């Protein structure tokens, strides 16, 4: 795609990146077929190609409007289009640049700005979030049914084993997951402990920064990245093997720290080191599959439907690992169509774009439940809570199931 950037963007870091990405798009339109928002809304401007055009126009000097912002806001950042694109267009990076530009020029109305600020403050502060969550969990049974479905019941974590092994890995605790589902990381610690790896958390690490970043607050997102890097580096120097992610939404962000901080002289090298050391838990366990196999005595067969998060399959390009490990552990995975499509969770998207998010959720749950599973499993806290709010059967993280299977052996 030919482009001539406006003088204000030419020869800037973002301008150079955007120009390279724009030139790689050949305008073929293959990406339209797998874009969830284009499938639902049928408008080219709600497709990857349409959004690329909108961003191109802004970079070439056209003044963006609220309509431009609306079409960019409706993107789920699922990156399904990147998986489909035959030309390797790095759509996600271009969208980041476009959204930040449009945010600066168009701004937000008072109500929307307040919602976004409240989301950032509430979700990024574990203390605030956990206090509010505990409060509503106490009165959950008194609330109407439709509200109860949006508030997960409290869920004990179980035992976190003492760090007794020479092999150690770090885990990102994150912001909302410890409050909503503390058992996910505890279950991961138990599984790794059984194969001789201790899982530890760094005290000063916190939110990965993805929520702020996707709310177009890159400063807060990068501050979170720097804080985590400072918390993790001493552990890497002390021989920790990997930084383990149990939420694929956080994983894709931390694996991007090296890219996001590439122009920060104080952090570029450190961020690159953290990114290359970061692994989704499925990557860690695929490498340890033989050790796991020796431990697993097959549990009573359980039919489960697996939902691979976009941040795992499109963002991190990791496919098949979770399914292989669950099958090896004795679970029967039902066939699910449209596995490549987003469930509508997408960070804060389900709160900011509820109409589209709920349509995608209903469609996804229809496919997941078609094979009559006893349970739905996934690999990201956002997908888990979003799907659970519309599902009559339990939705759990796959590490909890693996932990249960090993505990039964
Ligand atoms: S598939 Fe790739 S090259 Fe084709 S229009 Fe979409 S982004 Fe551009
Ligand atoms: S990231 Fe997802 S929603 Fe956004 S344009 Fe690509 S496929 Fe469509």
- Radius of gyration of the chain from Cα atoms? 21
What residue ranges do the domains of the chain occupy? 13-106, 113-148, 167-284, 296-407
Ligand nearest to the CA of 353: 2
What pLDDT, on a 0 to 100 scale, did the predictor assign at position 138? 59
- Three-state helix/strand/coil letters over the chain: CCCCCCCCCCCCHHHHHHHHHHHHCCCCCHHHHHCHHHHHHCCHHHCHHHHHHHHHHHHCCCCCCHHHHHHHHCCCCCCHHHHHCCCCCCHHHHHHHHHHHHHHHHCCCHHHHHHHHHHHHHHHCHHHHHHHHHHHHHCHHHCCHHHHCCCCCCCCCCCCCCCCCCEEEEECCCCCHHHHCCHHHHHHHHHHHHCCEEEEECCCCCCCCHHHHHCCCHHHHHHHHHHHHHHHHHHHHCCCCCEEECCHHHHHHHCCHHHHCCCCCCCHHHHHHHHHHEEEHHHHHHHCHHHHHHHCCCCCCCEEEEECCHHHHHHCCCCCHHHHHHHHCCCEECCCCCCCCCCCCCCCHHHHCHHHHHHHHHHHHHHHHCCCCCEEEECCHHHHHHHHCCCCCCEEEHHHHHHHHHHCC
As a whole number of angstroms, the distance between CA 382 and CA 388 comes to 10
As a whole number of angstroms, the distance between CA 175 and CA 407 comes to 28
Domain formed by 167-284, architecture: 3-Layer(aba) Sandwich (3.40)
Smallest CA-to-CA distance from 209 within 251, 270, 264 is with 251
Considering only the top CATH level, what class is 296-407? alpha beta
What pLDDT, on a 0 to 100 scale, did the predictor assign at position 295? 85
- In the block, tokens 């659970």 appear at 388
Q: Both tokens of residue 206?
A: 């916190």
* pLDDT of 129 higher than 70: no
pTM of the model: 0.92
Protein residue whose Cα sits closest to atom 5 of ligand 2: 48
* pLDDT of 63 higher than 70: yes
Q: Both tokens of residue 300?
A: 């009573």
- In the block, tokens 């150690």 appear at 168
Q: Which of 41-55, 119-133, 172-186, 232-246 has the lowest mean pLDDT?
A: 119-133
Protein residue whose Cα sits closest to atom 3 of ligand 1: 25
What pLDDT, on a 0 to 100 scale, did the predictor assign at position 297? 65
Pocket test for ligand 1, best of 87, 92, 95 (most atoms within 8 A of CB): 87
Ligand nearest to the CA of 25: 1
Ligand nearest to the CA of 34: 2
What pLDDT, on a 0 to 100 scale, did the predictor assign at position 216? 83
Domains 167-284 and 296-407 share a fold: yes
Q: What number of residues does the chain have? A: 409
- Is the CB of residue 94 below 6 angstroms from any atom belonging to ligand 1? no
* pLDDT of 358 higher than 80: yes
What sign results for the dihedral spanned by CA atoms 330, 336, 339, 342?
negative
**Under 8 Å between Cβ of 333 and 323:** yes
Q: Whole-angstrom distance between the N-terminal and C-terminal Cα of the chain?
A: 57
Q: Which of 162-166, 294-298, 355-359 has the lowest mean pLDDT?
A: 294-298
Protein residue whose Cα sits closest to atom 7 of ligand 2: 35
- Is the CB of residue 28 below 6 angstroms from any atom belonging to ligand 1? yes
* pLDDT of 128 higher than 80: no
Protein residue whose Cα sits closest to atom 2 of ligand 1: 85
Share of the chain above pLDDT 70, in %: 91
Confidence band for 124, pLDDT divided at 50, 70 and 90: low
* pLDDT of 84 higher than 80: yes
Confidence band for 179, pLDDT divided at 50, 70 and 90: confident
- Is the CB of residue 27 below 6 angstroms from any atom belonging to ligand 1? yes
What sign results for the dihedral spanned by CA atoms 326, 304, 145, 138?
negative
Segment 70-94 mean pLDDT: 98
- Is the CB of residue 71 below 6 angstroms from any atom belonging to ligand 2? no
- Is the CB of residue 29 below 6 angstroms from any atom belonging to ligand 1? yes
* pLDDT of 125 higher than 90: no
What would the pLDDT profile of 199-236 be if each residue is shown by its tens digit?
Answer: 999 999 999 999 899 888 888 999 999 999 999 999 99
* pLDDT of 13 higher than 80: yes
The HSE-up count of residue 397 (CA atoms within 13 Å, CB side) is: 26
Superfamily of domain 13-106: Alpha-helical ferredoxin (1.10.1060.10)
Confidence band for 77, pLDDT divided at 50, 70 and 90: very high
Q: Which atom of ligand 1 is nearest to the CA of 26?
A: 3
Q: Which atom of ligand 1 is nearest to the CA of 27?
A: 5
Share of the chain above pLDDT 90, in %: 78
């Amino acid at each position: 795609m030919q482009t001539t950037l406006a003088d204000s963007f030419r020869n800037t870091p973002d301008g150079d990146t955007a120009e390279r990405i724009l030139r790689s798009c050949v305008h073929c339109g293959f990406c339209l077929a797998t874009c969830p928002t284009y499938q639902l809304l049928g408008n080219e401007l709600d497709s990857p190609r349409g959004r690329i055009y909108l961003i191109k126009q802004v970079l070439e000097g056209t003044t963006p409007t609220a309509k431009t912002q609306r079409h960019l806001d409706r993107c789920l950042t699922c990156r399904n289009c990147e998986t489909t694109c035959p030309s390797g267009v790095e759509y996600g990076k271009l969208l980041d640049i476009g959204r930040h530009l449009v945010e600066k020029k168009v701004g937000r109305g008072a109500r929307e700005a307040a919602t976004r600020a409240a989301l950032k403050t509430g979700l990024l502060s574990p203390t605030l979030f956990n206090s509010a969550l505990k409060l509503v969990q106490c009165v959950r049974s008194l609330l109407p049914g439709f509200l109860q479905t949006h508030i997960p019941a409290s869920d004990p974590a179980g035992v976190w084993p003492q760090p007794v092994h020479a092999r150690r890995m770090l885990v990102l605790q994150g912001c909302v997951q410890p409050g909503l589902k503390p058992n996910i990381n505890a279950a991961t610690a138990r599984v790794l402990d059984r194969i001789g790896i201790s899982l530890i958390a760094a005290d000063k690490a916190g939110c990965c920064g993805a929520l702020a970043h996707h709310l177009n607050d890159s400063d807060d997102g990068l501050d979170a990245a720097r804080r985590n890097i400072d918390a993790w580096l001493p552990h890497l120097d002390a021989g920790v093997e990997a930084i383990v992610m149990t939420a694929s939404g956080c994983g894709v962000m931390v694996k991007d720290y090296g890219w996001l901080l590439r122009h920060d002289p104080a952090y570029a090298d450190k961020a690159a080191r953290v990114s290359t050391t970061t692994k989704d838990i499925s990557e860690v366990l695929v490498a340890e599959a033989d050790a796991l196999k020796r431990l697993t005595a097959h549990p009573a067969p359980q039919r489960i439907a697996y939902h691979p998060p976009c941040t795992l399959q499109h963002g991190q390009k990791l496919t098949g690992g979770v399914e292989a490990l669950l099958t090896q552990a004795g679970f029967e995975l039902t066939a699910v169509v449209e596995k490549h499509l987003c469930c509508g969770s997408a960070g804060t998207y389900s709160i900011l774009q509820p109409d589209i998010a709920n349509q995608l959720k209903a469609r996804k749950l229809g496919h997941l439940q078609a094979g009559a599973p006893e349970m739905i499993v996934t690999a990201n806290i956002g997908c888990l809570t979003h799907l659970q709010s519309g599902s009559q059967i339990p939705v759990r993280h796959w590490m909890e199931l693996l932990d249960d299977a090993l505990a039964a052996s």
